[in-house]
Every structure is written in C-alpha cells, then in structure tokens.
Amino acid sequence: MRDEEELRKSLSELADPNPKSIKRVSSSSNPFLDFSQDPSIVTYKHGLLVRKSHAEPDCKKTPRGKRGWKTFHGVLKGMILYLQKEEYKPGKALAEEELKNAISIHHCLATQASDYSKRPNVFYLRTADWRVFLFQAQNTEQMHSWMTRINVVAAMFSAPPFPAAIGSQKKFSRPLLPSSTTRLTQEEQLKSHEAKFKAMAAELLEHRASLPDKKVKGKEYEELKQKEEYLVFEKSRYGIYATLMRAKLKAGSEDLAALEAALFSTTVGTQGGLKTSPSSSSLHQEPTSTGGHRGKQHTHRQATSGPQKS
C-alpha cells in the first residue's frame, strides 16, 4: 500500500508542480485515472497513432508475440500520453481499462525512425526507463507534430535529474530520473538542459579517452557499450530539449501550434521534430544562453489556445 501511495503521489506531480492544488481520487486503483478525469490539465495533442512495442525497460527486446502493431487514439494530456481505443472526446473521462497503455513522457525523446522502412511516417519514443516504442502517424506532417509536441512537453516539465550516486561498484548503471514535474522557471529549465548537455558531452569525451587499449570481451565490453549508448543518447536528448526550449522562449507563447509553425518554416529534419537549415542550432555544438529573457514558472494548467487538434 505504501508503494502504491508513493506512485500515486509521484504521478500526481506530473500534472502540476503544486501537489497541494490537486484533488486526488483516492478510490482509484490506477493513478493515471485521476489525471485523465481532470479537465484543468492541458491537452496538447490528440489523433490517430499506430503503436508497436520495440523494447522493454532497459532496452530488453520485446518478446515476438507482443510486438504487433495496434491502432489507438493518442491523447497527450499533461505529461502522459494516453492510448485509447475510442475516439477522443474532450471532457469524456477514460475508463480504467483504457489506461493500461498510458505512457509517462517525463525525460523521454521522440525521434524519426529513419532506419525503419517497413512503414512510412514512423517515429521512435524512448522513455525514461529506456522502453522503446514505434509510432506510426497519419502522414509526415503529423509525425513531426507528434515528435515536436512530445519533446517540447518533456523539455518543459521534466524535473532535473538526481545527482549521480557515489559508490564503490565499478559496474555502470543508468541514474534514476525523477517523474515529478520541474519547479524551475522556463529560463532556469533551459539553463538546466544546457548544463546537462555540456556535462554529457564532456563525460562522453572522457569515456572515449579512457577506453582500454586492448580489446575487451564479455561483461566488461557490454558495460562499456551501455555507457557509450547512454551518454550519446543523453547528449542528444538534452541538446534537443535545449534547442526546443530556446525556440519556445523566442516565440514567447504557450501555443504549441505557433511554435510548430516557427520550427517548420523551412525543411523539417529527422531529429526530434527540429527543422534543418543554416540558421538551426546544431546539436553537436554547445547550446548558448538565451540571456535576459524572464521565464515564468510553468504548469500544465496555464492558459493555452485550447486542445490541439490532430
């Protein structure tokens, strides 16, 4: 019971950085249900998505019998991507059995699946616990829209990671990422992402410089490989987060449709819904500070232009 209550408390903070303002539905056995029924939590996007499970937590391959494609009506509400069988209707509460497919998008990253050729308009979604999903959107425009909005919401609201644990074990393990919502202002959130990008870039260089001269095998090889993959991914994730946060601060609006329009004013690239043009910020360069922009503490309950249609 204690673990369940802790999960409910943690998930409640995905909706609002001020947990005291949330009325929790204590009768619910599924904490996701509480937020799906709260009309004050912003719906950022909804539309048809076809999902395929690609990897379980820690990137363990999903068993073959569970990899099939399934069609859902996706609803990005707060920091949760709901996948329901029935068509989305604003204000209609989800049944509890519909919530088993819900995905928390804190610290996640959506990127175009450019190496997947079996279906068009497919993107990867990697979660904080390193589950991996494939999603097929209705068309190319919708694919980039889903990637952008998922990544922007994750960049806006994912809380800074916990400090790395100090221990005597040499075995590499990914640090735990908090599921709570950030309490930072938007400008502070940007600076946090920039700092993490620089830290991951430096750690990646250090890791590559310290690799043993001789070829390693077995467990040692796997651990070195895992750390390399982790650092490369985290560098990319924080680079995309920082780029999107800079674009959002520059746009000066909470309307994600306006942000999309600004990002897609030129040819759209493959990384996280970002455009590729000479003026685009490179993810291989250290992000620069926005400087002087006053950010407000942001919550999912801020005024927006309303639900974003697919």
| Number of compact structural domains in the chain | 1
Percentage helix, strand, coil for the chain under 3-state DSSP, each rounded to 5: 35, 15, 45
pLDDT given at position 183: 95
Residue 168 has pLDDT above 80, yes or no: no
pLDDT given at position 277: 33
Q: Is the backbone of residue 95 left (phi > 0), alpha (psi -120 to 50) or beta?
A: beta
- Cα 232 to Cα 59, 152, 256: the distances in Å are 15, 20, 28
CATH at 128: 2.30.29.30
pLDDT-derived band at 164 (thresholds 50, 70, 90) equals: low
Average pLDDT over residues 8-20: 42
253 belongs to a structural domain? no
26 belongs to a structural domain? no
What is the value of pTM for the model shown? 0.76
Average pLDDT, the chain: 77
In the block, tokens 């937590």 appear at 57
pLDDT given at position 109: 97
Range of the domain at 60: 2-16+32-157
The DSSP output letter for 174 is P
100 belongs to a structural domain? yes
Residue 305 has pLDDT above 50, yes or no: no
Average pLDDT over residues 123-135: 94
Question: How many whole angstroms separate alpha carbon 105 and alpha carbon 41?
Answer: 15
pLDDT tens digits for range 68-114: 999 999 999 999 999 998 888 887 777 777 788 899 999 999 999 99
130 belongs to a structural domain? yes
- Which range is least confidently modeled, 200-209, 244-253, 297-306? 297-306
Residue 227 has pLDDT above 70, yes or no: yes
Average pLDDT over residues 177-201: 95
179 belongs to a structural domain? no
**What tokens does 199 get?**
């830290």
Cβ-contact 138, 47 below 8 angstroms: yes
Average pLDDT over residues 11-17: 43
- Which range is least confidently modeled, 43-47, 135-139, 158-162, 295-299? 295-299
- Cα 145 to Cα 47, 111, 112: the distances in Å are 11, 11, 11
Question: How many whole angstroms separate alpha carbon 104 and alpha carbon 63?
Answer: 22
> Residue 118: exposed, middle, or buried by beta-carbon count in 10 A (0-12, 13-18, 19+)?
exposed
76 belongs to a structural domain? yes
Q: Give the pairing type, strands 109-112 and 70-77.
A: unpaired
Question: How many whole angstroms separate alpha carbon 21 and alpha carbon 68?
Answer: 40
pLDDT-derived band at 169 (thresholds 50, 70, 90) equals: low
Average pLDDT over residues 152-162: 94
295 belongs to a structural domain? no
> Residue 105: exposed, middle, or buried by beta-carbon count in 10 A (0-12, 13-18, 19+)?
buried
Question: Which DSSP string corresponds to 78-124?
Answer: TTEEEEESSPP-TTPPPPGGGGGG-EE-TT-EEEE-TT--SSSSEEE
| Among 19-23, 30-34, 36-40, the range of highest mean pLDDT | 36-40
228 belongs to a structural domain? no
